[in-house]
Chains A and B, each alone.
Chain A
Amino acid sequence: MAKKRDKKFRWQRKHLLGLRELDREEIEFILDTAKGFEQIGARSIKKAPPLRGKVVANMFFEDSTRTRNSFALAAGRLSADVIEFTKKSSSVSKGETLLDTARNLEAMGVDIVVVRHGAGGAPKFLSRNINACVVNAGDGFNEHPTQALLDVYTIRQMRGSLDGLKIGIVGDIAHSRVAGSGIWAMTKLGAEVTLIGPPTLMPAQAHRLPVKISYNLDDVIEQLDVINMLRIQFERMGKNPFPSVREYSHFFGLTVERMKSAKPDIIVMHPGPINRGLELESEVADGPNSVILQQVANGLPVRMAVLFLVNQAAVLEH
């Protein structure tokens, strides 16, 4: 998979805020680096020393299981110390601002801040105001770059390349930062992306994105090589984006019945957590086309690569 890269190429970013601003070469460099981290999880001592003596702060202002644990484990496997910070157990509940919290963490010698926040742009704001590296672990409806990176990493693992693949992203696009990053990662790597969902769940500016749009899953499913089923985010929705859960599932759920019109080797993805029976029928989620657990496993090497690279960029800055 690793291709000959221009010797002059150098990873320069000490923050990973989103994939929109990255070019293809940078995205591929992260994925190739992640490949090198894959075997660490398979050996007797599941640790390597490159972040020895560094401190990573996991600042999660929103709930998360997968992403937070995956970052913590990734940092630990690179020998960093990890501070876990969640909204409920911190002084944020006493009214401390994002910036004050981050500055206080920085005063403790934090080198990398991994941040998830309900407000789009929060990681960017932090990156402009503190010296530590900032990694976006999901900001509002904006981006979730490491999720998209592990998605394209998984597709590359299965197919070797994304060039020419037809990928459908289905469901709640408007509220999805996974789609927000995925669109950029997938199209920059050469895939053709179609957003599929009811008009009420399409982003207002969807036509300005480098994607196709469809309001009918049955029209396009037979062409797709990859289908990425997004979670319906009830917690972020206003009132009544669709008439009923049953109706949504009828038109946009990936069911055993609907899988019959798909290519036999279609790759079924989901960023988790799954609303079983809503966007994905259990038989499909656990079926042979599903790579959902492989996505979770790939989160580790991908996040290790990101932490490693932002730290390298920070070292060079001094």
Chain B
Amino acid sequence: MKVILDAKQIEAALSDLTDSIAQQVSANVDIAVIGIRSRGEILAKRLSQRLSDKLGKTVPYGTLDITLYRDDLNDPQSDAQPTVRSTELPFDINEKIIILVDDVLYTGRSTRAAMDALVDFGRPKAIRLAVLVDRGRRELPIQADYIGCKVDIGPGQSVEVNLVDTDDKDQVIVK
């Protein structure tokens, strides 16, 4: 096990993400942050607070459960019991710029599922992708717009994002 980001570095990464997102949105466009369950949800909440402070207006956040859109649902090899949870989007996504948030970007399959799920809720003005860690090795043609930290981690290892809300402390580890 190796720590690749500690609490301070996560803090700094979120701060950088906030700055780059804020720079690129014009004042007259509504933005909202949507996190992919479950770690993306917590990151989305933090980002929405930071963005609200930075932009001086409320940036709402929501949670997306992508289970029903996963491409391995009918794959007998997948070993986890898919647990369907609720999606909570307490705002209209039409005409908004949606910042989609995930903890780790790897194959790109979760992002594909999330985009399919999102467009069933409406037609956002744009969807941008923000991730805390980009570990490379994509299987789909998907790239992030905002990246907290970039590392190349092979398929034999796993990247785990711990956040104080659900785990003991903020840290990103490689196992």
Contact = CB atoms under 8 A, between A and B. Distances in A.
Contact of A50 (B68, B86, B122): B68
B134 interface: no
A44 B121 contact: yes
10 contacts: A10-B81, A32-B83, A35-B85, A36-B68, A36-B85, A36-B86, A39-B87, A44-B120, A45-B120, A48-B120
Interface stretch (B7-15, B21-29, B69-77): B69-77
Interface of B: 65, 67-69, 73-76, 81-88, 116-117, 119-122
Interface residues of A, number: 27
B120 A43 contact: yes
Contacts of A60: none
A205 B141 CA distance: 63
A49 interface: yes
A78 B69 CA distance: 11
A37 B69 CA distance: 13
A222 interface: no
The 9 closest A-B CB pairs, nearest first, are A36-B84, A48-B68, A45-B120, A10-B81, A50-B68, A33-B84, A36-B85, A318-B76, A43-B121
Contacts of B83: 5, 32-33, 36
Contacts of A48: 68-69, 117, 120
Contact of A312 (B69, B73, B120): B73
B78 to A, nearest CB: 9
A292 interface: no
Nearest to B72: A315
Contacts of B117: 48
Contact of A11 (B74, B76, B81): B81
Interface in A275-318: 305, 308, 312, 315-318
Contact of B67 (A32, A36, A78): A36
Interface of A: 2, 5, 9-11, 32-33, 35-39, 43-45, 47-50, 78, 305, 308, 312, 315-318
B86 A312 contact: no
B5 to A, nearest CB: 25
B167 to A, nearest CB: 14
Given A36-B86, A39-B87, A45-B120, 13 more contacts: A5-B83, A32-B83, A36-B84, A39-B88, A45-B119, A47-B120, A48-B69, A48-B120, A50-B73, A315-B75, A316-B76, A317-B76, A318-B76
A37 B76 contact: no
Contacts of A33: 83-84
Nearest to B68: A48
Contact of A35 (B86, B116, B119): B86
A44 B73 contact: no
B84 A39 contact: no
Contacts of A39: 86-88
A5 B80 CA distance: 13
A45 B75 CA distance: 25
B84 A308 contact: yes
